[in-house]
Amino acid sequence: MRDTDLFQLALGLSSPWTVTRSEFDGQDGRLDLYVDFPRGSRFACPRCGREGCAVHDTKDDTWRHLDFFQHRTHLHARTPRVTCPDCGVLKVATPWARAGSGFTLLFEAYLLALAKAMPIANAAERLGEHDTRLWRIVEHYVWRAVEALDLREVRRIAADETSARRGHDYISLFIDMARRKVVYVSEGKDAATVKEFAEFLEAHGGDRRSVTDASIDMGAAFEAGIKQNFPNAEITFDKFHVIKLANEAVDEVRRQEVKNRFQIKGRRYIFLKNVDRLTTEEKQALSELEAQNLDTVQAMQIRMNLQQLFTMDEKTARRYLDRWHAWVKVCDLAPMKRLAKTIIAKSKGILRSISTGLSNGVLEAINGNVQAAKRKAKGYRSKRNLKAIVYLIAGDVLAKSPT
């Protein structure tokens, strides 16, 4: 077997394409493969598919291919233009690359696999390519896949925001609870992002009136957005956000108290952890603090009692929540009273999370992955890049490879 036959097999080329010659430069570690077709070959018209069109002329092209072992590999071919009696003179699509790409499909597939696992900058270094060229490939496939998303079956959604950069710059993620994937990413975190999502949903075969449930945080923006844009969606306030809000109230009590009582300083973490997660030493410290009847301890008990809610069935939870509220509203801790007021105002959606079992847990996990990717990439040059990566890793839009 000749080396060209071997490469022919490795490339999976079929008639009329053959590998005619290979050049190996040991010094540069570079392999060049020349692919050609025999004189007189005919091709199908790339527009109408008519077979047997004659070649009009050719143009020399080069593609970066997957490395053979450690050797950078390039494919060279003269790309024909054919004359179709109906369509005129058109460039033929080569079977190993998409039109206009300087990379073969296999190379692009490899890059997309890398992009799910590492920042593009690292992939660029590994592949010896400039990262803007690689971003162009990633974006091409991601946006094409997003364009093709089929959202007909979307019934239950969850939304959350995640920071795009340091500071107060956000993107909002919308997930389809059934497939547990991000199906829409938008810039900002206001009610307008929900409207954008409703429009995107309908542009992809979905129907806003078919959405029955929306799991969101207790911020006013998403709630207003859901009410305005999803007329049949029941709102669920997810457990994670309820506890987060309660933790913030506890922390506010602690900060007020710490001004007067130095002994709580440096003990913040104790009050934010569940008791069964504390170390022996932390438990000891906690019981000493409890003996002093601190406000912070009381606030923490209120928070832990609230958390109990999520272990009950809906009917029990409803009665329990009323008792909890009656207790908290007469305590002396302003942040906890404010918390109780909010919880009661939102109790319908909170209790609904118990009956439907909907939670943003999957979104929290997705959020964690997005933030980890962002940290590894040391940030993204643009929100568009970040959005593409979110679709890639949390939307899994490229579950199918391009080859």
Q: How far is the CB of 89 from Zn ion (least distance, A)?
A: 10
Cβ 95 to Zn ion shortest distance, Å: 18
Q: How many residues touch Zn ion (CB under 5 A)? A: 7
Q: How far is CA 342 from CA 273, 333, 337, in A?
A: 22, 15, 9
Residue type, 177: M
Q: Of the two residues 48 and 113, which places its CB atom closer to Zn ion in the complex?
A: 48
Q: Which of residues 70-89 bind Zn ion (CB under 5 A)?
A: 84, 86-87
Q: CB of residue 58 vs Zn ion: minimum separation in angstroms?
A: 18
Single residue of 6, 9, 48, 113 touching Zn ion by CB under 5 A: 48
**3-state secondary structure string across 352-367:** HHHHHCCCCHHHHHHH
Cβ closest to Zn ion, residue 52 vs residue 379: 52
* 359: nearest Cα among 239, 262, 200, 255: 239
Measured CA to CA, the distance from residue 191 to residue 112 in angstroms comes to: 33
Q: Does 249 bind Zn ion (CB under 5 A)?
A: no
| Minimum CB distance to Zn ion, residue 48 (Å) | 3
Q: Which of 21, 29, 42, 47 binds Zn ion (CB under 5 A)?
A: 47
Distance CA 225, CA 7 (A): 57
Bond preceding residue 85 cis, omega within 30 of 0:
no
Q: Which of 33, 35, 45, 183 binds Zn ion (CB under 5 A)?
A: 45
Among 45-53, 61-69, 143-151, 314-322, which window interacts with Zn ion (CB under 5 A)? 45-53
Q: Which residues of 277-297 are buried (b: 16+ CB within 10 A; e: fewer)?
A: eeeeeeeebbeebeeeebbbb
Q: Which stretch binds Zn ion (CB under 5 A): 41-49, 193-201, 274-282, 368-376?
A: 41-49
Site for Zn ion, rule CB under 5 A: 45, 47-48, 50, 84, 86-87
